[in-house]
Structure 1
Amino acid sequence: MPRTQDFDTAEVIGKVRNLFWDKGFEATSIPDIERVTGLNRSSLYNAFTNKRGLFDAAVEDYLDGVVRPRLRILTDEPSHPDDAVHYYRDLADALTDECSGRGCLLLNSATGFAAHDDTQRRVVDAYRQELFAALTHALRAVDQDMPAAVLEHRARVLTSLSVSALVLSRVNRDEAIALVNTAIAQLEEWRR
C-alpha cells in the first residue's frame, strides 16, 4: 500500500527553490535538501522522483512566483510608455533586496549545468525569449510606429542588460544595479 504524503508540497518546493537559488543545482546535495525540508530522502523521492524532479518543480515555482509577476508590468494591458522603466526600477529594488547576491535561479544554471543539459538549456532560453517578448511589448507602448528592426534591436539591448545584471548580481551587486540604471537611461533617451 503506498504511503500517503504528509507534507505541504508547495512549502517544500519553496524551501528547495531557495536552496537551489542560493547554492545552485550541482552544489546542492540531498542531505542539504533533507535538512532544509525536514523530510527524508524516500519521502522526497516518492513525491519528486529525484533531485532533478525537485529542481524542475523549483524552477516552475520560480517562474510562476518570481519571474512572471515581475514581467507582468511589461505585458499587462493597457500598456503605458513608462512600463519598461518601472520594470527596471523594480528589478533594481529586487537586486538590492530579495535576490541580493542570489542572481537569477535560471541564469545561474546557464553558467553551470545547463551547458551540458539540454532540458535546462531549453528552460533558460525560453526564459530569455519570454523576457525579450515582454520587453518588445513594452517598447511598442513607447512608440507604436517604431520600425520592426529598431524595435528588435532595442529589445535585444534591454534583454542583454537584464541578463547581465541578473548574472552579475551574484558577484557584484553595484555593477548589476549600474547595468539596470543604464537600461533606464537608455529607455529615457529613446523616449526623447
Structure 2
Amino acid sequence: MGRARTFDEDAVTRSALGAFWEQGYSETAVPELEDATGLNRSSLYHAFGSKRGLFDAAVERYLDEVVRPRLAPLLADHVAPGALGDYLRDLREAMLGGLPELAANGCLLMNATGSSLGHDADLQHVVTRYHADLRAAIGAGVAAHRPDLDAAAARDLATACTAMVLASMMIVRVNPTAAGEMLATASRTLG
C-alpha cells in the first residue's frame, strides 16, 4: 500500500503555475519546480506523472483562476449590455499592474504556443478551446452591447475585439503600455 499524500495538490499546482508562468515550460527546470513547490522530484513525478503532467495541471489552474472567472459574465445566460466593456476595462487594469503575473509575464497559454510546446497536439487543443471560449464570450458581449448590428457586423466587431485582446496578451510582457492601448482601442471600437 502506498503512502498517503502529505501535501495540498492545489497549493502545489498553484506554486508550479507561478514558476511556469514566469519562466515558461522549457525554461523551468525540475529543481526550480522542487524549490517552488517544496516537493522533491519523486513526489512531483508520483503525483503528476512528469514535468509535463504538472504543467498541464498548472494550465488548468490558470484557466480556472485567471481566465474563466473573467469570462463568466460574458458566458452567462443573460449578458449585461456593459459586460464586454467591463471585461476589457478589468483586463486592461490587470495588465497595467492589477495582476502582477499577467503584467509581467503575459498570457501563459500564448507564451506556451510560442515555445517548444507550440506543436504539441494537447496544448493546441487547450489553446483552440480557449480561443473558442474567448471568441464566444466576446461575441455574446458584442450582441448584448450592440443589438443594433446585423449578424455580419457583430461577427466582424467580435473578431476585431478578440484579436485585440489576444494581441494585448502577447505584447504585455514587453510593452504594457501598448497592451493597454490595444484594450482601450477595443473598448472604443465597441461604440
Q: Normalising by structure 1, what TM-score?
A: 0.94
The equivalent residue for 1:26 is: 26
Does 1:126 pair with 2:113?
Answer: no
* Structure 2 CA distance for aligned equivalents of residues 79 and 178 of structure 1: 25
* Structure 2 CA distance for aligned equivalents of residues 73 and 82 of structure 1: 10
* Structure 1 CA distance for aligned equivalents of residues 9 and 118 of structure 2: 29
The equivalent residue for 2:90 is: 90
SS of 1:79's partner is: coil
* Letter matched to residue 147 of structure 2: Q
SS of 1:108's partner is: helix
* Structure 2 CA distance for aligned equivalents of residues 26 and 114 of structure 1: 8
SS of 1:101's partner is: helix
Taking structure 1 as reference, are residues 114 and 126 closer, same or farther at Cα in structure 2, changes over 3 Å only? farther
* Structure 2 CA distance for aligned equivalents of residues 147 and 138 of structure 1: 14
* Letter matched to residue 75 of structure 1: L
Does 1:113 pair with 2:116?
Answer: yes
CA shift for structure 1 position 38: 1.0
CA shift for structure 1 position 75: 2.0
The equivalent residue for 2:13 is: 13
The equivalent residue for 1:161 is: 164
SS of 1:139's partner is: helix
CA shift for structure 1 position 41: 0.4
Count of aligned positions: 188
* Structure 2 CA distance for aligned equivalents of residues 79 and 115 of structure 1: 33
Does structure 1 conserve the Cα–Cα contact (< 8 Å) formed by 2:107 and 2:169? yes
* Structure 2 CA distance for aligned equivalents of residues 169 and 86 of structure 1: 19
SS of 1:7's partner is: coil
Does structure 1 conserve the Cα–Cα contact (< 8 Å) formed by 2:113 and 2:119? no
Instruction: Point out the more displaced range, 79-88 or 48-57.
Output: 79-88
CA shift for structure 1 position 145: 4.9
Does 1:136 pair with 2:153?
Answer: no
Aligned structure 1 segments of 4 or more residues deviating by more than 4 angstroms: none
Taking structure 1 as reference, are residues 46 and 24 closer, same or farther at Cα in structure 2, changes over 3 Å only? same
Aligned-pair identity in percent equals 39
Unpaired runs of at least 5, structure 2: none
Taking structure 1 as reference, are residues 129 and 114 closer, same or farther at Cα in structure 2, changes over 3 Å only? farther
Q: Normalising by structure 2, what TM-score?
A: 0.94
CA shift for structure 1 position 4: 1.6
* Structure 2 CA distance for aligned equivalents of residues 35 and 170 of structure 1: 24
Per-residue displacement from partner, 1:68-94 (whole Å, max 9, x unpaired)?
001112222432221111101100111
The equivalent residue for 2:2 is: 2
